[in-house]
Amino acid sequence: MVELTIGEIRDEDVEDVVKLWERCGLTRPWNDPCSDIARARRGPASSVLVGRSAGFIAATAMVGHDGHRGWVYYVAVEPSLQKSGYGRAIMEAAEDWLRQQCIPKLQLLVRTDNASARGFYEALGFSVQEVTVHARWIDGGKN
């Protein structure tokens, strides 16, 4: 297996990252992935990490924090490379990014019908928390 080299997203990566997210089924009609990337890149409290293997983007994770809790979104591994260790590597990079920001806790959201993602995160030591997520669109968006 070719090693994964991880760094922050570059301008020329955006299109390939969005295509990877689409192949992995992560995009939703109500979330524009290009806007999500732009927001993550604007401030010091978030970033998009990109894992490269043999010259192409093989994995991603959007990471950010609110000063206390870290969050990870858009964790993706090229479908043909899943179960290669790249998911674990990109998550370790996200944790390292948060440690550098002195953030003590990492949280993430998983859709209830995504059993494979739940299994992946459980294998990494994540546990289900006894919380309910409440949300409200403030810009007129939908679900």
Coil, helix or strand at residue 67:
coil
Kindly state the average pLDDT of the residues 10-16: 98
On the question of pLDDT at 40 being above 80, the answer is yes
What is the per-residue pLDDT across 47-75, written as a single tens digit (0 to 9) for each? 999 999 998 999 999 999 999 999 999 99
Sign of the Cα torsion 40, 43, 48, 52 reads: positive
**Residue 124, in any domain of the structure:** no
**Residue 114, in any domain of the structure:** no
**Residue 63, in any domain of the structure:** yes
**Residue 43, in any domain of the structure:** yes
Question: Considering the entire predicted model, what is its pTM?
Answer: 0.92
Q: Please list, in sequence order, all residues whose beta carbon lies within 8 angstroms of the beta carbon of residue 126, skipping any fewer than 6 positions away.
A: 108
Q: Which DSSP state fits 115?
A: H
Q: Which DSSP state fits 28?
A: B
The token pair that represents 133 in the structure block: 């997520």
**Residue 95, in any domain of the structure:** yes
What is the per-residue pLDDT across 70-121, written as a single tens digit (0 to 9) for each? 999 999 999 999 999 999 999 999 999 999 999 999 999 998 888 999 999 9
What is the per-residue pLDDT for 25? 93
**Residue 45, in any domain of the structure:** yes
**Residue 138, in any domain of the structure:** no
On the question of pLDDT at 44 being above 70, the answer is yes
CATH code, 67: 3.40.630.30
**Residue 57, in any domain of the structure:** yes
What is the per-residue pLDDT across 22-34, written as a single tens digit (0 to 9) for each? 999 999 998 899 9
Domain that holds residue 52: 5-108
Provide the domain count of the chain: 1
Distances (CA, A) of 131 to 6, 96, 107, 109, 134: 32, 25, 12, 11, 9
Q: Please list, in sequence order, all residues whose beta carbon lies within 8 angstroms of the beta carbon of residue 105, skipping any fewer than 6 positions away.
A: 68, 69, 70
